[in-house]
Every structure is written in C-alpha cells, then in structure tokens.
Structure 1
C-alpha cells in the first residue's frame, strides 16, 4: 500500500475477490468516486478494459454503473492487455483509462488500476482526490446528467496495428516462435501481431475460461513454454503474464531469458542505434551481472525501488529511455508510455534481426551472478533494518564478500517477512553468506 493511502498501492488496488476493497459494493463506489474526480479534470469519458478472469464481468458492470452515476461516459473494450488500455486511452482522447486485472495473480484475485489521459500511471494527487471522494456519501447525478456506455468494436485491431508500428513493421518471415499467452489478456491480440509480421507461430495458453489465467502457464510458469519450444524446435519462445505488461523469453535450447537479460540485449542494441544514452533504470532486485555488463557498454545502472511505478519515475526524472525489472516488466519509452509485453518482445526481435544473432548469442555478453534469497518471518511489525545487530551482521557479510557481490535486506510490503538477498561471483560463497545472514536476522528479530 502506498504510504498514507488507504486503498491505493503502487499499482492500483488489488486483492482477493469478495474481500476488502475487491467487492462489487466498493468497486461501484470507486467508479463513482473516480468519475467525480475525472469529470472535474475533463469531459468525463473513461475507457475500461479487463483481463480474462471471471470476476471481470462483474467489476466491469459495477464500474460502468458507478461512472454513470457520477455523470461519466464509459468506453468498453473487453479483454485487452493492460498496455493496450494505456494506448487506447490516448487515441480516444479519454480522460482516464481503467484496467480490471490482477496481473500475474491467480483467478480468485482481481484489481483496479488507472491510467491518466496521457497513458501513464495516475499521479499521486489524483489518487488522493479519489480516496477523498470515497469518504463522501454516494449521490447519483440527475437523470439528465447520467453517463452512457458504448462498446468499441475495433479496439483489438487498433492495438494490433499499433504494436506492429512500434517495430517499424518488422519482417519476421522464417522465424519460428512459440507464444504463451497465460490464458490471459494477450490471448487474441498477440498471435495476430506476430503472425501478421510473418512469424510461424505456435500457441499455448490461449484458451481462457475465466478460471485458468496464469495457471501453469505464462511468464511466472515458464516450464510449459520451455517444453513447447524444444518440442517444436522453435527459434525462441515468448511468455506474457495475465495482463500482458510483462514477458519472459526462452531461447532455442530451452533456457529462460529474464527481464535483466532482455534489458541487456535492448540496452546494447539501442545504444548502438543512438536511442539510449546515459543509463538504464533497474530496481533493487536487478542482477549485479547486468550492472557489470552495462558498464562495459559505457552505460550506468540506477536502481529504483521495486515496482514499475518507481522505474517510470526515475526514467522521467533523468530523461532516460529504457528501464525495467527482472520480472520482465520492461519500459521502452521511445515507443510506449508504459510497460508493454508485446511491444518489448518486438523490440528484442528487432535487436536480434539487426544483429543477426540468436537469442542465446545476444544474451551471452551478460553473465548473471548467482543470487540466493531467504525470507525471514517477523514476529511483529518493526523497522528491522535499524536494529544494531542486523547492521553489524550485514557489515560482516559484506566484508566476507569482499567487493565481489551485493547484499540486500528488504522488508516485504505485503507479508510480515524481511527478504535477505545475497548475490556474488561464487555460488557456494553466496549460499553460505545468505544462510548465515538470514540466521543472524532471525535471531535479532526474535529478541
């Protein structure tokens, strides 16, 4: 949860359906509150999209009702990737976009996230205004002022053409690709994009039933894609998450290529083209191997807090183009306003085509450092990083690594745990240091 806010976290509002804020009653009022705020800042035209989970139908209906009660019109596009809503919000000149999705979470979770009229994350001051309205009594606008709703029938085709255009209509003739759409929001548009660009496309995770989103497939479950790439003898595989803003790739040998490695491929390629200068924005979890590889390319790595919102903030502040997370949420600001799995995948394919390399060859310039993480449960909420015993243990662990690695202690924002992460050149040393430091942390928090 974002500091000081009652409902909004770093990426909207999310949770288990039927509990907390993820109920029909709350989302109805959320639609009304958002409508009240957006109508003050524009004409009151809101675009709504969703992923494929079954509760999306329910929340789409109540959001539409809440917005109408506030006097706002709704444009409904149905199941579409989250970044598609960012793009369509801009092209339809809507005052805001709303996505009904819980991203890579299982079907029984859902969430609501917003985009500004410019297709970017909603500014903090607008979120504060919506939270203030949520505390007010919900009052329906007069009948003559009620909002209307209409479906956008060509939204799918518009987004497909947009994705293709970001790659300069890249020619993928002769390339064999396996796409894993996680039974999620990319199940329809992604196959069209890659087939229309000429690729020979094999599909998994394209039969959503409302209950199977992210189940054993998608970017968080790469085994299915690895198996299919090897069986099809494909050149590579691409997996998206449930709402289509993340990706993971698999090379022809069945090895996964994560967000850090994809960032390296993009950074090297875009620097050679003169698109990237200065540096790249990663997060606290970005592998040390990427930082080392970027230095060899004359590029700096800046680490933001975990979360694409913070990556975007750093990119904006520094005027940089490229950033992302090891989860595969990549931001290519020269072609998109937000993280977009399909667009990012096309950018990687551009790099491979123009360098005449396989995915395996392109990632070989970066060596991932071994990384080990142990979660230590907290008996109570406390500022563990300020404890003298933990500070001392961390300093001792850093001394043991002797400048050949990195240590990160990060309290979870959603669970009562502190994550102890160690990475370095030697895997046995990393495991030993992490185990010892986690034991010291566990002992310190128990006192």
Structure 2
C-alpha cells in the first residue's frame, strides 16, 4: 500500500484505481461509490455544488463505468458533464478552462482492453495528490460520510460536446503554427482516445499522412499498436517511406516517435529538442526536468546549451512537483510522458507531438539525424525478484555493495537501486560510457542482493 500524509491508500495506485472490468474496483457499484466519494470530497473542500468533467477512452467497459461514475456524482449532489471519448489531457483542459470543480477519467491508459480505471483531476486539471486520494478512499469506505443528496438537491448529467471541440481547437492552434508540414508522416492512435481526434487535427498536413490504430472496436485498444508496440509504427514508417512516425497510448497522455529508418525517438530526445526550442524563445524557465532513468546523454547535450537538468523520481507526479519547485516549464520521462506547463497541466501526447513538430521546424532540425546525435550512454536494468523489498533495501550487505558500485562508477557513470512500486522486485540500474564497468557494477549489486535474499 502507498502512504500519504500518514494515511494508507488501498485502492489508488500510481495513476488512479485500476482493475479488470466488472471485477473488484471496476464494477458499476464501485464506480458509482467512487463518483459519490469524489463529489463529497469536493463539497467538503468548499464546492457548494461540484461540477465535474468526465471522459473515457475506447474500452468496451468505458460507457458502463462512466455512466455509473456520473450517477454516483449526481447522487451526492454534483453535476456531471459527459465529454464522451476524449484523451485524458482533454479532460484536464476542460477542467482548467471550464467552470469545473474537478475532472474524472475512465481509462486504464496503456493496459490491455480487459482492464479499466478511474482517475481524478482537480479544478486546474492537475492530478490529485496522494493525500487527496487517501481522503477520497476514506469517504468511499464510510457510508455515512458518503451521503446521498436530498431529492431536491440531486445533481444532473449533461452532454459536454463543446469541451471536446474546445480541446481540438486548442490543438489546432498549435498545429497551424507549424511551419514545415511538407514531409510524409505516420500516425498511430493506439485504437484509443486519440482515434477521433487525429484525423481532423492532421487533415491539412501537406506531406501526406498514413493513419493506423484509429479504428477502435472496444477490444483492440493498445493491441499490437501504440507506444507499447512501437515496432508496429516503425514497420509502417519504413513500409510507407515516411520521414517520421508518431504513436500515442490508450488515453493519449504519452507519445513516442520514430524516424524514417524506424529508430525510436523517446521522451529523452523530445525533451532535448523541445527544451532547446523553448530556450530559444525565452520560455524554458529554469531548465528541463527528467527522471533518474533518463539517459545521461540528455544532461551532456543540454549542458552544451547552458540548460540545466533537474532529476526526480520516476512518475509524472514527481516530474510535475519538481517542475513547480525548480521553476522548469517542461519535464518528462523516457516513456514519452511530457508535461509542458505553458500548454497543458498534465501529460498530453497530442500537444507534445505538435510541440516537437514545431520545434523541429523552427530549429531547422533534421529528424533523420537525431538518433545519431543523441549518443546514448549504455544502460543496464536488471530486475531481482524478492519476497521482502524493504529488507533487501535496508540490508547492510546491499548498502555496502551500493557504495562499492558507486565508487567504481565515480565520474564515469551512475548506479541506482530502487524497489518496484507494483511488483515484488528490486531494480538495479547502471549507466556508463564504459559498458564493461557498467556491467561490473550491476554484477556487484546482483550478487549482494542474492546473498541478502538467501540470508548469507
């Protein structure tokens, strides 16, 4: 379980509540209770009659769960506005710009179609804190506190199509600012929430667009397409002779790309390009925020431009917290979850992709050379299965080995040891220009963890 402000979260994970549809926490009953709990949470925070923007992705279970969620909101005296199928950042955009107390999204992001999830946003379109989610859980579990409204105070449910249109128009303004649209591209919508948006958005791309993964049927979201299957995009780019491919995930909060040779351009490359572009415009702020997993090449390349990189833990919440604390206007992860605060308050795959296209044009970048010029440090990631992560992390044997590995890599690389947040694993991560040295450091850690697990 995750701890927050002294409270333990039982249901919320790193990105909302998730489960297999019609099981556990993803039944209509549970969704209704979550909706009611969120409405009460907002009311207790001062919203006299909470108004909540609600969207979903393309999963078969989405409409069922969204209907239940909105019924729960109305039953506790809140007004739910149905945005239909829309990217998560589209709900964030509506919450930020509209008369909303908060937002809710029914989606399991990059997970397979049989899963679904529910996550909540605040009235500015930001994800809730761990403490806020723990509070919602308390209301969820407390029948007396999760009160139903009196008959005359029951909330409403109405269509919010205008907010979908508003989100598309905001993206259209970015699109129209791209100077060079003359080269062929491939767009992979992951059969997800972006499917209805990419056609209208890229309709005026002069170089020609090939669309894939844009025919959702409720069961094919993320199936062999999207960022989790980037090889499909790479193959299509090579087949069509395109110059660039762009792929999203199921709820469109992530984006990855590949060049004309099918080589992946990940979040690190996008931060490198967009960060330099923002700096050229004087809108970068204090620098670029990246997680501890981002390649050291990002720091080396941005240092040449006198751009500072702020490191943080893995997770978009930590990226955002660090951005706010340090005054950075862009941050993200290798996975393609990019936050550009002058344009969106959460990860927005469509927006980030457009910013990349604009940055490439304005900087005069040659996309075909980016992978070569981003000279990555070799990295190794080893997952060690353990029964007790805390015992391993606090083992004197492991602590001594970590110091030895760090001494070995001093000035030549780095080593990180961290427990998985969702699995019984401890992850060993090492990085160095010297691959032999890197692997030796990882070997030291693997041997020490093995001994700690065996009790030697």
Q: TM-score range, shorter-chain basis?
A: over 0.9
Equivalents in 2 of 1:198, 1:156: separation in Å?
A: 25
Matched residue, 1:14: 18
Matched residue, 1:359: 367
Please list the CA deviations of residues 328-347 of structure 1 after superposition, one character each: whole Å capped at 9, or x if unmatched: 00011121111100111111
Matched residue, 1:371: 379
Equivalents in 2 of 1:435, 1:56: separation in Å?
A: 45
Indicate the SS of the match to 1:14.
strand
TM-superposed deviation, 1:167: 5.1
Name the TM-score, length of structure 2 as normaliser.
0.93
Indicate the SS of the match to 1:188.
helix
Query: Is 1:278 equivalent to 2:283 in the alignment?
Result: no
TM-superposed deviation, 1:283: 1.0
Label 1:122 to 1:196 Cα distance change in 2 as closer, same or farther (>3 A). Answer: farther
Indicate the SS of the match to 1:213.
coil
Equivalents in 2 of 1:318, 1:77: separation in Å?
A: 34
What pairs with 1:107-118 in structure 2 (closer than 5 Å)? Answer: 107-118=113-124
Equivalents in 2 of 1:128, 1:75: separation in Å?
A: 24
Please list the CA deviations of residues 367-394 of structure 1 after superposition, one character each: whole Å capped at 9, or x if unmatched: 2111111110112342422211111212
Query: Is 1:206 equivalent to 2:214 in the alignment?
Result: yes
Match of 2:320 among 312, 331, 342: 312
TM-superposed deviation, 1:432: 4.0
Matched residue, 1:338: 346
Matched residue, 2:35: 31
Matched residue, 1:2: 2
Query: Are the counterparts in 2 of residues 11 and 309 from structure 1 also a CA contact under 8 Å?
Result: no
Matched residue, 2:393: 385
Matched residue, 1:423: 431
Query: Are the counterparts in 2 of residues 171 and 198 from structure 1 also a CA contact under 8 Å?
Result: no
Matched residue, 1:155: 163
Which of 91-100 and 122-131 deviates more? 122-131
TM-superposed deviation, 1:198: 4.3
Query: Is 1:193 equivalent to 2:209 in the alignment?
Result: no
Matched residue, 2:73: 67
Matched residue, 1:411: 419
TM-superposed deviation, 1:7: 2.5
Match of 1:164 among 165, 172, 177: 172
Matched residue, 1:84: 90
Match of 2:306 among 298, 304, 320: 298
Indicate the SS of the match to 1:420.
strand
Matched residue, 1:183: 191
Equivalents in 2 of 1:403, 1:226: separation in Å?
A: 36
Give the paired residue count: 447
TM-superposed deviation, 1:221: 0.9
Indicate the SS of the match to 2:209.
strand
Query: Are the counterparts in 1 of residues 255 and 337 from structure 2 also a CA contact under 8 Å?
Result: yes
Q: For the aligned residues, what is the CA RMSD? A: 1.8
Which of 95-104 and 289-298 deviates more? 289-298
Which of 392-401 and 165-174 deviates more? 165-174
Query: Is 1:57 equivalent to 2:63 in the alignment?
Result: yes
Label 1:381 to 1:213 Cα distance change in 2 as closer, same or farther (>3 A). Answer: same
Equivalents in 2 of 1:395, 1:124: separation in Å?
A: 32
Unaligned runs of 5+ residues in structure 2 are: none
TM-superposed deviation, 1:445: 2.1
TM-superposed deviation, 1:196: 3.6
Name the TM-score, length of structure 1 as normaliser.
0.95
Query: Are the counterparts in 1 of residues 237 and 260 from structure 2 also a CA contact under 8 Å?
Result: yes
Indicate the SS of the match to 1:162.
helix
Label 1:420 to 1:262 Cα distance change in 2 as closer, same or farther (>3 A). Answer: same
TM-superposed deviation, 1:172: 4.5
What pairs with 1:426-445 in structure 2 (closer than 5 Å)? Answer: 426-445=434-453
Indicate the SS of the match to 1:208.
coil
Equivalents in 1 of 2:173, 2:391: separation in Å?
A: 48
Label 1:426 to 1:81 Cα distance change in 2 as closer, same or farther (>3 A). Answer: same
Query: Are the counterparts in 2 of residues 177 and 201 from structure 1 also a CA contact under 8 Å?
Result: yes
TM-superposed deviation, 1:413: 0.7
Equivalents in 2 of 1:6, 1:219: separation in Å?
A: 29
Equivalents in 2 of 1:182, 1:308: separation in Å?
A: 21
